[in-house]
Amino acid sequence: MEKMTKQFVGRVYGVQGQIVLVHCESEYRPSLLELLSAEEVSGVQLEVHSYSGRDLLYCLLLSSKEDVSRNMRIVTEGTTLSIPVGKSVLGRAINLYGQPVDGGKLLEYSDVRPIHPIARAAALKSKKERKLLETGIKIIDFFAPLIDGGRLGLVGGAGVGKTALLTEMIRNLNQTHPGVTIFTGIGERIREGFELWELLHKTGALDKTALIVAHINENAAIRFKIGAAAVTLAEYFRDEEKSDVLFFVDNIFRFVQAGNELSTLLEEIPSEFGYQSTLQTQIAQFENRLVSTDKNSISSIQTIYVPADDLTDPAVAAATPYFEAIVVLSREMSQEGRYPAIDILKSKSLALDRTYITEQHFKAVTAAIQMLNQYERLARIVTIIGESELSAQDRTIYERAMRLRNYMTQLTVTAEEQTGLPGVFVSRADTVADVEAILEGKFDSIPPEKFMYIGTTKDLTGGTLNTQA
């Protein structure tokens, strides 16, 4: 929409949380998503959400409600919410309006983009060659690999390590990925954003990373809109700068939650489970923009909070179909002190196919999953009668599976301050070779506990390698 001079719309009729009701008192009727402002008070911004009849507007409040009062005159310039784009956002942390929140100077930019673009006339095409991205985290690269241009979801309840794992993946992928990185913080803690900022600065990855955040203390309208703003940045770098993009989101559930808060204030009828009736549409509008072209890709990794550890929660169920890989974090694993606390058998990836992984990897992961399923059965038996009552064959399977489970634990750079031990990056090739050796029994003489928090099997001490297995 072209910019125009300020035109009177109407007056504030009422305020309901982050929803402002505006009574139209002129012939002009704003479009949906159009930005409105106060005529005499600077800083007040509203976005048209819907109409009630012809004269009453429901608007999202994108500024402080303390500045809004009844009968305030509302005007429009005929614009929509836009965000600065360009290389100037790299190395910076910004808010919904492109204003810095990192304490630095204002951005210098020459272009802005609407965060709600008109639908493209031509369908976007996928990249012809889709390779695997290497995170350096053994359990993910082996059991739930991420395809370039794909989406991976880190799914789990509170306190199981989603954000810590996401931060480690940002750090590792930044070092090997040739493109740019966009981090989107939706409704998360300020402390977590600061820690990520420090890590990126320390590792030298900040220069090619843009952080766009709406913290948990900001109103629901801003938290709901921040995702669209971040996607706009990703689309700009993909299309205009011809860059491959790493797109991280923490946390997609907070996006859903913000939408639910707004839906309640708008007095919309909720769904059967209490979520907004538009839940599926809102997630689809967000996820369907994260697509690749035949030239450049957007690869996305998103955390999804699971309320009460219930994977069947409607918000979780609505988001997961959009992911090629799903990594389920387990509270049981976390309580056992196994990090990353990932439930291998519940995690999955479409990339576990000969189209993407090597024949060696395919055979190893197939055998590993089979062995872990056997371990689950044997673990229940051991709980009742003890390991000593297992047959020799079952005991061999049980102990090899224990070695495999322990091998998949890993020290991370993100947790160095807590553990006092250096984090490690392990290549996919090393992981595949190590798992293959464990499954073949080449480490049967080494106690399973020796495999906890090693990098590769080269770090093992004690025992003798069985080269005849």
Question: Which residues form the catalytic set?
Answer: 162, 188-189
Pairing relation of β-strands 56-61 and 45-52? antiparallel
DSSP H helical ranges for 121-250: 138-143, 162-176, 190-203, 220-239
Other CB atoms within 10 A of residue 308 CB? 7
Other CB atoms within 10 A of residue 462 CB? 8
Other CB atoms within 10 A of residue 457 CB? 21
- 286, two tokens: 């967000």
Q: Are 411 and 421 in contact (CB under 8 A)?
A: yes
Q: Are 58 and 49 in contact (CB under 8 A)?
A: yes
Q: Select from 308, 207, 188 the least CA-distant residue to 248.
A: 188
Helix (H), strand (E), coil (C) string for 238-253: HHCCCCCEEEEEECHH
The amino acid at 151: R
The rounded distance, in Å, linking the Cα atoms of 203 and 187 is: 25
Peptide bond into 251 cis (omega under 30): yes
Residues, the chain: 469
Q: How far is CA 288 from CA 176, 233, 245, 344, 406, in A?
A: 26, 15, 15, 28, 38
Task: Give just the sign of the alpha carbon dihedral 47, 216, 263, 16.
Answer: negative
Q: Are 400 and 469 in contact (CB under 8 A)?
A: no
How far, rounded to the nearest angstrom, does the alpha carbon of residue 19 sit from its chain's CA centroid?
A: 28
Pairing relation of β-strands 45-52 and 34-38? antiparallel
- Contacts of residue 348, defined as CB under 8 A and 6 or more positions apart, other chains included, come to 144, 325, 326
The rounded distance, in Å, linking the Cα atoms of 284 and 129 is: 25
φ, ψ at 266 (rounded to 5°)? -80, -5
Q: How far is CA 139 from CA 275, 406, 458, in A?
A: 33, 11, 17
| DSSP type of residue 468 | T
The rounded distance, in Å, linking the Cα atoms of 77 and 260 is: 29
